[in-house]
Amino acid sequence: MKNFKLVLIAFLFSAGMMAQDRGSVVLDVYGSYTFSNNVNFDYGHIKIGDGFTYGAGFEFFPQKSSSVELKYLRLDTSFSANVPAAIGSKNVNGNGAFNYILIGGNHYFDNGGNAVPYLGGGIGMAIVDGPQGGSDTNFAWEIKGGVKIKTASIVSVSLQANLISTIAPAGTDTYWGYYGPIAVQDYAYSYQFGLGAIIGFNFK
């Protein structure tokens, strides 16, 4: 975690210097509806409920058609964990949240018009606040696409679809090799699809 923070600070500083020399800086405010999904693992599944994802971030433009993005997103949601009673566990229901910190970028297909399509993605971490208290930090990635609508003012509006995945350890699987049993880390994957909008404020 300490190393990740140092990389994040260095990246932000260098991206900011590029933006000052070559392009603009955009403050983005995010809001989207995120659909529910199931996360399956060996002994059951967890249903992550739908909810509203919101947050803010910055885009730095080292080139006119490409940006470097740093953002924070939060999804307040519900969890419903279902594990068979045969292994001695019960259903666990409660509320929690996903806190995403992502570094990535966008490429804009600018044809000179006011509506500009784009594709983008990012990587980072998801800090998951569980229904029973405590938190867990895991790797996360995002892919996205949309259309940015320019206006005559500093304000722009983007309509976007995105997919964020969180990868979390979920116990171990045991395989039998030549010298006996081998324990291998198992992982669970969440895939959260969202539709929403971004309000951008362009600072030259």
| Summary mean pLDDT of the chain | 81
- The residues with which 143 forms a beta bridge, in sequence order, are 121, 163
* pLDDT tens digits, one per residue of 79-128: 887 766 544 445 567 899 999 999 999 999 988 889 999 999 999 999 99
Choose among 161, 167, 152: nearest CA to 100.
Answer: 167
User: Is CATH 2.40.160.20 correct for 2-203?
Assistant: yes
- Say how many C-beta atoms besides its own lie within 10 A of residue 153's C-beta: 8
- What's residue 203's pLDDT? 83
- CA–CA distance, 197 with 146 (Å, rounded to integer): 9
Task: Break the chain into its structural domains and give their ranges.
Answer: 2-203
* pLDDT tens digits, one per residue of 129-158: 988 777 889 999 999 999 999 998 999 999
* pLDDT tens digits, one per residue of 46-76: 889 999 999 999 999 998 899 999 999 999 9
